[in-house]
Chain A
Amino acid sequence: MAIVETRSLTKVFKEGQPGAVNNVSLQTREGEFLVFLGPSGSGKTTLLRMIAGLEQPTAGEILIGGAVVNHLPPRERRIAMVFQSYALYPHLTVFQNIAFPLKAQKVKKELHQQKVDWAASLLGIGKLLNRKPRELSGGERQRVALARAIVREPTVFLLDEPLSNLDAKLRAAAREELEEFQKRIGTTTIYVTHDQVEAMAMGDRVVVLHQGIVRQIGTPKEVYDDPADTFVATFLGSPPMNLLEAEDVIVGFRPERFLPSELLTPGGEQAAKNFQPQSVLVADVKDPLKRIPLRFRVEIVEYLGAERILYGYLAGTRFEKKLVYSRIPSSVLANYAANSIYDFAVPESELRFFDPATEKRIAPKAFQWQ
């Protein structure tokens, strides 16, 4: 177990061009599952590769277990890495693949069998030991790669999008398995992904990266509910947070908080069942939940099974040209049709405020809707 720390870590690939990683300082906790989340080109993989020792930083320091490791080659950092492609050795059997780190670390030969068996049984691949990688399915390869990573009991696990080559169904199962597996072995893990669902589901904390800069570090709940800036607000969530830009402030609210008025009153779920959209046209402004009533002109309705996404415009406000989204769970039985106007509302507590100049989060302030 070890703590990984970076201090003002910077990587510039070509002089004069913007860095792939800029001045990143962060620290994992003991046994933590830390996720680097960002779009492609955000520098998350470069950051991971620098921690692994596969890339030399241009500036800054990397510490593993309290010691600076900048000058150490990958093999002396006591880390294990799972690559996006798994990078299994194609000419070796599964057994030889898993045993390779043991051989390379000059672990006594008598122990190889025992350790490989332990790693293989932990991942349920005991029956595959004599196969070659090309004879394995995607999910099996991923397990072999994990077994190869844990076999020598590293202090830190680095995972570079290990699930991105699996199909959607397998990915969900593998995600759960990986998470459970990490909890069991308790090794500090850094996980790189561009998939926000993976990040939210697996991470103890999430580091949101953009253009090589750390935008926010926090628990999944923190980065989702309290984004530090407009990038985090729109990168997380699908559809993203609605952002309304005024001269001196940007106001944001999540689509799932922007709901038909009657759903936001106590007992709203019950009311929704008998809901006749056309019959309720005036929003109740004196609501105890202190909500902001908005007239929502729906343009498109997307039915996604578990929920509906409504695309439309805020009628009668000064943001009439701005497309906004609403997410309504399918448990709400009321029907919403395109080209109609409904009474919607946002609880005031769900509004987030950002500075238009810096795009950073600011304290709530007065805001003109009309």
Chain B
Amino acid sequence: MSNRKLGAVMFLPAILYVLAVVGVPFVLAFIYSVGDVKIASVGYHFVGLENFRSVLQSPTFRRSLYDSVVFTVGTQIIVLVGSTILALALKEHFRGRGLVRFLILLPWVAPVSLGAIGWKWILDSLYSVINWVLIAVHLVRPFEEPMWLGEPSLAMMSVIGVESWRLLPFSTVILLAGLTAIPRDIPEAAAVDGAGFWRTMFQITIPMMLPIVNVAVLFGIIFTFTDMTVVYILTRGGPYDTTQVLPSLAFFTGVLGGDLAEGAAISIFLVPLLMAVAYLMLRVAHRSEVA
């Protein structure tokens, strides 16, 4: 077998995999979003942008779009601040650094559904360990404990918190790599030039990390915006759709609600949005690289 053929054969599984798992559903979703397909319906009628019109008019969709933005932006802010601090701390040499690095990576390694189920118990209205502790230290009186997943703003904070917990390790590892790439000479030169800790941090280290921060944020936005696991397991979008995000809404509408066409329209709605974000971030990364 020639090298060319062998190469093609070796490459084939990867192409098939991507086609079957990403390509076909994507094309299907696109076709469904401009048709009238429901579960168990026969035939297909082209309806143009009808599904998008109806989706845009639905208050639940608009609420979900808003929630998605809050969920994504909120998570990114927490992750960015947290992972910057963690990366800066983990770069230093101290005893037990290896262990701390391992512990911080754990949430990323653990399956997201298992992690989310764990959090569901932690935030449970009856068995919450957080509330148990709060009561034990007399910060909260019994029977007045917060309903972490039951009140709209608390529920949103909870899903943001859990999503941040999940993304933090990934972002930390990316930033740590970027940080290690800064030559040791440069912060040393800053120290000799008279800069203290904060000046070195904000005028040297963080600006030099910006390109890699962009990468971390880009991935973070895409992961968060397209993720439904945390919301689905913790709140199912509740209470009253106040934590409903677009992916979970698409799932509820299309799969559980049976309206495949509208579900597809909701999920397709994400595509141009994410493409715009990706384009923007890549441009910023490119510019800071060239400048």
Measured CB to CB, the residues of A under 8 A from B are 52-54, 73-75, 79-81, 83-85, 87-91, 100-101, 103-105, 132, 148, 152
B118 within 8 A of A: no
Whether A75 contacts B188 in the complex (CB less than 8 A), given A85-B183, A90-B208, A91-B207, comes out as no
A87 to B185, CA, bound (A): 6
Residues A100 and B195 in contact, CB atoms below 8 Å apart: yes
Interface residues of B in 162-201 (CB under 8 A from A): 183, 185-186, 188-196, 199
Whether A104 contacts B189 in the complex (CB less than 8 A), given A87-B183, A91-B207, A132-B291, comes out as no
**Nearest B residue to A90, CB-CB:** B208
**Apart from A75-B192, A83-B188, 6 more pairs, CB < 8 Å:** A54-B188, A75-B191, A75-B193, A83-B189, A100-B193, A152-B194
Residues B192 and A54 in contact, CB atoms below 8 Å apart: yes
A83 to B187, CA, bound (A): 12
Whether A87 contacts B194 in the complex (CB less than 8 A), given A104-B199, A132-B291, comes out as no
B215 within 8 A of A: no
Partner of B194, one of A89, A91, A104: A104
Q: Give the size of the chain B interface in residues (CB under 8 angstroms).
A: 20
B122 within 8 A of A: no
A186 to B196, CA, bound (A): 28
**Nearest A residue to B208, CB-CB:** A91
A87 to B291, CA, bound (A): 18
Question: Whole-angstrom distance from the CB of A107 to the nearest CB of chain B?
Answer: 10
Q: Which of B183, B192, B288 has the most CB of A within 10 A?
A: B192
Residues A79 and B192 in contact, CB atoms below 8 Å apart: yes
**Nearest B residue to A91, CB-CB:** B207
A81 to B186, CA, bound (A): 12
Which B residues are CB-close (under 8 A) to A53? 191-192
Question: Whole-angstrom distance from the CB of A101 to the nearest CB of chain B?
Answer: 4
B73 within 8 A of A: no
Whether A75 contacts B194 in the complex (CB less than 8 A), given A90-B208, A91-B208, A132-B291, comes out as yes
Residues A81 and B291 in contact, CB atoms below 8 Å apart: no
A87 to B188, CA, bound (A): 8
B204 within 8 A of A: yes
Measured CB to CB, the residues of B under 8 A from A are 183, 185-186, 188-196, 199, 203-204, 207-208, 210, 288, 291
Question: Whole-angstrom distance from the CB of B90 to the nearest CB of chain A?
Answer: 22
**Nearest B residue to A54, CB-CB:** B188
Which B residues are CB-close (under 8 A) to A87? 183, 185-186, 188-189
Residues B191 and A54 in contact, CB atoms below 8 Å apart: yes
Residues A101 and B183 in contact, CB atoms below 8 Å apart: no
Residues B193 and A104 in contact, CB atoms below 8 Å apart: yes
Which A residues are CB-close (under 8 A) to B196? 75, 104
A101 to B208, CA, bound (A): 18
Whether A89 contacts B192 in the complex (CB less than 8 A), given A104-B199, A132-B291, comes out as no
Whether A80 contacts B192 in the complex (CB less than 8 A), given A87-B183, A91-B208, A132-B291, comes out as yes
Q: Which of A74, A80, A85 has the most CB of B within 10 A?
A: A74
Residues A101 and B194 in contact, CB atoms below 8 Å apart: yes
Residues B190 and A104 in contact, CB atoms below 8 Å apart: yes
Which A residues are CB-close (under 8 A) to B194? 75, 101, 104-105, 152
A87 to B183, CA, bound (A): 8
Which A residues are CB-close (under 8 A) to B195? 75, 100, 104
A-B contact pairs, 17 of them (CB 8 A): A53-B191, A54-B188, A74-B188, A74-B192, A80-B193, A83-B189, A85-B185, A87-B188, A88-B189, A89-B186, A90-B208, A91-B208, A91-B210, A100-B193, A104-B194, A105-B194, A152-B194
A54 to B186, CA, bound (A): 12
A165 to B26, CA, bound (A): 53
Which B residues are CB-close (under 8 A) to A132? 291
Question: Whole-angstrom distance from the CB of B236 to the nearest CB of chain A?
Answer: 46
A91 to B202, CA, bound (A): 12
A87 to B288, CA, bound (A): 19
A104 to B203, CA, bound (A): 10
